[in-house]
Structure 1
Amino acid sequence: MPNKEYEGEDGAGEEENFSFIPDDLSELNVELIGDDEIDVVDVDLTSDEAGGSDSELIAAVQQRDEFLSALQHLQAEFENYKKRSLRQIAEAGDRAGERLAKQLLPALDVLELALTHAVSESGSEDLAKYLSQVSQALFEVLAKEGLEVLSPQGELFDPNVADAVVHEVGEGQPIVSAVLRAGYAWKGRVIRPAMVKVSGEE
């Protein structure tokens, strides 16, 4: 510790011990007053350091929340994209199936006509049985995928599912009196209206 020697009133040298002054003044705010006196002011660095730590913690929490919000937004967008993609794939499959069903409808018509002719002809029982089996097998395959027969016999005429190609004037509301050609729907959507005969008021 530094000692300072000075002369007293009688001129004798006395030594004053400044043992309270630390060797390392880096933690004190030291201000020199004149040549001999030292004014020491304590500084509370702990408060400043704590304030700085709090600010850094708040900034880190805010940054974390921003990252979390961005991640949640990205995840929601990905889920919407996945659902949209699956829906588009399903719709594309439905359209492809519908196109195939439309292309096969004439084949069903031919089989039905051949079956009707074979039934009416004597000696064609085996042929009629064979045609019935083929027609039934083809229809069952298509029905499993969504094909439905529209045969509104005896029902109130609905222009959404049937085309009236013959109309007999009668009393009451128009009723489908005969189905001339079956209609078809694919998964609830009409792809070919039935051709019908209607009886009733126009």
Structure 2
Amino acid sequence: MSNKHFEEKKNSSEKENQEVVTEETTNLQEEKANLSEKVDEADKVSAELAELQKKYDELNNSHLRLRAEFDNYRKRTLREKSELIKNGGENALTQLLPVVDDFERALQNIHKAEDLAGVAEGVDLIYNKFISYLTSQGVKALEVVGKPFNIDQSEAIATIPAPEEGLKGKVLDCVQTGYMLNEKVIRHAKVVVGE
């Protein structure tokens, strides 16, 4: 073979090698670019993950604090409610003490008194004072005599023949007075109903 031919082959081989190297370089550059994109993407995901972890920690901390605050609130309200139940009647009982004082004075003088009209008047005054106190607390007596029998307010303990036709189903007599506290019946009246 001639040198020329050998050189042409050599040049051709070098050219092929250069093309292969160029192709491999291009492939390497593409892989490097892909790898760089993947690293950038991984960095973004890592940054997003770190931010999400931070938000999670903040929300978890906020949730724990809120739970602790609610638990403290619940305990405080239970304590206040128990104190209210325990001492809630204090005001009512304190206002009853003057009536008790009047009864004590009446009991001391009732045995020594010779004027029964004066004793009766004193007991009437104490009774009126007590009824006035109950009224100020929202307690009122049920007026049921002469009205139609109402099962929500009264309890029938007896029935008797009505003296008149118009009194059938109406309350003829009240044996025990019923009371309401702020529009709620706290004791039903015990009544006799006409039939």
TM-score (norm 2): 0.48
More strand as a share of residues = 1
Tell me which of the two structures has the higher relative contact order, counting C-alpha pairs closer than 8 angstroms and 6 or more residues apart. Answer: 2
